[in-house]
Every structure is written in structure tokens, then in C-alpha cells.
């Protein structure tokens, strides 16, 4: 039975360039940027740019309506045969824009049922929308989870907006963590593959990442992606402006190595833009800007 389960799992990740290191040489993903709003404020994010939970800070993606996004996805799937996954990862949080996000997935599933659907979120609204995620057969969900400790969370998140109220400091960080844990559990129960992103912030959460790794492994996450904080002052983020540095390659690798005995670590992440197109590391987004793809069929 374990062999059979392993085979099934292999099949589920075989064509996903982020979930399988092997697949990323052969299969491509695209992001459609349909989700502008966000419900929290991370200190490594400037809202003028893409969601830094799954993106390279300092990049501005072209915002689309669900109809435009679906058209783009179908056009690109026709032109790039290795295209296997459509992800929504911004420019804000997909689940802070539930109607736009789910409408987009619905339209794509109708017209191109073979394309895998992928979603990346800060997790705050994940318990709320787990049923819609199941209904739509979204098989890959990423939660960005940076700490297991609300005191540390208070240094990473300046506020959390939940059910019409804004919470600051430890109080906000607590709510976010609670929802992320509930979300992890709900994904596990629904048998949806879960990847966790953690942004490594030296002196803030670096010592705590091994705990994060342990916790998410116990909660059944499939893959852990520890990404370096990018904090150029010109990006205008809180961390950038207060001189918080990102980790060196060596520091990042040391933390990844420390965790690697426990579960699968992702080491080929390219911190994609919210409208990325192509193989990881090969950005073809400029070939498919709105003025271009609207003319294609």
C-alpha cells in the first residue's frame, strides 16, 4: 500500500516544476496576476509591488480580470506545450480576493481541464475557503509561514486584518498563526499537497526556522521552501528602510541543510513574479503582456 501511495504521489508532482526538482527542467508554470488586495502587512512587502511571499520584491505585475487571465492561460497553454501549471500568487493575497481568484480558476478548469491549479497564500483565510479549494480540485497550495512564535511574528507583521478588524503586534501575529495551523490541518485532511514558504530574516526568525520546519512536518506539509529576505532600500519596505539585511547564500544553505534531515527542502525556487511565464528561471512574461495576448488566439 505504501508503494502504491508513493507512486500516486510521484504522479501528482511529476509535472509540477516547483514540487519536483526534476520537473523544473521540463515543465513550465505561469502566474496570472488577478489578486490585488491583501489582508496583512508584512514588513518585507511594499504594496506597490508583487506579494513578496512568493515573489521577487520590487517587481510590478500587470493586473488582469479573471476573463483576461483565463484567456491568457489558454493562449499560453496552446503556445508552450510544457505548460502544466497555472498559479495565482498575487500581486496581493489570492484569498483576500476570493471572487477574482476562484472565478479565474473556474474559467481555466472549464476550458483547459488538464492544467494543474496552484495557489499561494499567507494562510489567513485558508480555513474559510478550504471547501472551494477542494471543489475546484486545486491540488497544490502554498502557505507562507515565517514563525511559530507570535513574539517573532510581531516583528514580521505590522498588522493583520481579520473579519473587519485590524490587529497589531502579537495579537495579530497570533491570529495569523492560528489560521495557518488550521489551514495546514485542513489541507492535510483534504489530501491537498502543501508547500510552506518561509522568508529567512537574519536576527529575526532564522533561529526559529528549524521549529517551523518541525511543526509543518508534523502537520503533514510536503515541501519546505526557505527563501532569502530581499531588502533593497529602494523597494521601500519596512525592513529595507530600517536596514534589515537578508541572509548570505552560505547562511541560507546552512539553515536549509539543518532542516533537510527532516523533510524535503525546495532549493530551486526562483522567487517568481506574479505574472511569470515559462520554465523557472526563464521569464517570458514580456512576450505575453496584455496588449499582446489579447490579440492572440
CB of 264 to ligand SF4, least distance (A): 24
Give the Cα separation of 96 and 85 in Å (integer). 22
Work out what residue 40 binds among ligand SF4, ligand CLF, none; the CB cut-off runs from 5 to 8 Å by kind. Answer: ligand SF4
Alpha helices, DSSP H only, in 190-269?
209-218, 238-241, 249-259
Q: Which of residues 15-54 bind ligand SF4 (CB under 6 A)?
A: 38, 40-42, 45, 51-53
Q: Which residues bind ligand CLF (CB under 6 A)?
A: 18, 29, 31, 54, 85, 87, 89, 118, 120, 140, 142, 195, 225, 269-272, 280
CB of 147 to ligand CLF, least distance (A): 19
Work out what residue 179 binds among ligand SF4, ligand CLF, none; the CB cut-off runs from 5 to 8 Å by kind. Answer: none
Q: Are 147 and 201 in contact (CB under 8 A)?
A: no
Give the Cα separation of 78 and 81 in Å (integer). 7
Contacts of residues 99-106 at CB distance under 8 Å and 24 or more positions apart, as own/partner, are 100/34, 100/35, 100/65, 100/66, 101/34, 101/35, 102/129, 102/132, 102/136, 103/66, 104/32, 104/34, 104/66, 104/69, 104/70, 105/136, 105/138, 106/136
Give the Cα separation of 102 and 129 in Å (integer). 10
Work out what residue 38 binds among ligand CLF, ligand SF4, none; the CB cut-off runs from 5 to 8 Å by kind. Answer: ligand SF4
Nearest CB to ligand SF4, comparing residues 133 and 229:
229
Work out what residue 122 binds among ligand SF4, ligand CLF, none; the CB cut-off runs from 5 to 8 Å by kind. Answer: ligand SF4
The size of the chain, in residues, is 297
Cell numbers 521552501: residue:
225
Work out what residue 147 binds among ligand CLF, ligand SF4, none; the CB cut-off runs from 5 to 8 Å by kind. Answer: none
Contact letters for ligand SF4, residues 90-109 (x by CB under 6 A):
--xx----------------
**Footprint on this chain of ligand SF4 (rule: CB under 6 A):** 38, 40-42, 45, 51-53, 92-93, 122
Amino acid at each position: 500500500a505504501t508503494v502504491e501511495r508513493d507512486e500516486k504521489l510521484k504522479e501528482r508532482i511529476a509535472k509540477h516544476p516547483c514540487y519536483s526538482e526534476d520537473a523544473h527542467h521540463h515543465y513550465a508554470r505561469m502566474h496570472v496576476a488577478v489578486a490585488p488586495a491583501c489582508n496583512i502587512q508584512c514588513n518585507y512587502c511594499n504594496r506597490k509591488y508583487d506579494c513578496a511571499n512568493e515573489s521577487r520584491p520590487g517587481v510590478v505585475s500587470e493586473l488582469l480580470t479573471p476573463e483576461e487571465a483565463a484567456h491568457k492561460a489558454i493562449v499560453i497553454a496552446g503556445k508552450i506545450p510544457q505548460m502544466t501549471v497555472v498559479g495565482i500568487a498575487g500581486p496581493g493575497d489570492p484569498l483576500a480576493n476570493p471572487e477574482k481568484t476562484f472565478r479565474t480558476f473556474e474559467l481555466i478548469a472549464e476550458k483547459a481541464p488538464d492544467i494543474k491549479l496552484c495557489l499561494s497564500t499567507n494562510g489567513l483565510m485558508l480555513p474559510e475557503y478550504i471547501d472551494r479549494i477542494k471543489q475546484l480540485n486545486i491540488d497544490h497550495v502554498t502557505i507562507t509561514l515565517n514563525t511559530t512564535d507570535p513574539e517573532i511574528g510581531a516583528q514580521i507583521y505590522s498588522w493583520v486584518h481579520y473579519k473587519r478588524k485590524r490587529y497589531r503586534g502579537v495579537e495579530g501575529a497570533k491570529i495569523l498563526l492560528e489560521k495557518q495551523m488550521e489551514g495546514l490541518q485542513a489541507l492535510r485532511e483534504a489530501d491537498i499537497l502543501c508547500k510552506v514558504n518561509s522568508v529567512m530574516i537574519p536576527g529575526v526568525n532564522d533561529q526559529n526556522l528549524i521549529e517551523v520546519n518541525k511543526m509543518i512536518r508534523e502537520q503533514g506539509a510536503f515541501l519546505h521552501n526557505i527563501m532569502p529576505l530581499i531588502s533593497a532600500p529602494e523597494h521601500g519596505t519596512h525592513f529595507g528602510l530600517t536596514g534589515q539585511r537578508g541572509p548570505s547564500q552560505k547562511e541560507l544553505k546552512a539553515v536549509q541543510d539543518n532542516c533537510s534531515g527532516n523533510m524535503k527542502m525546495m532549493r530551486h525556487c526562483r522567487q517568481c513574479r506574479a505574472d511569470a511565464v515559462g520554465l523557472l528561471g526563464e521569464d517570458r512574461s514580456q512576450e505575453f503582456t496584455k496588449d499582446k495576448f489579447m490579440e492572440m488566439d
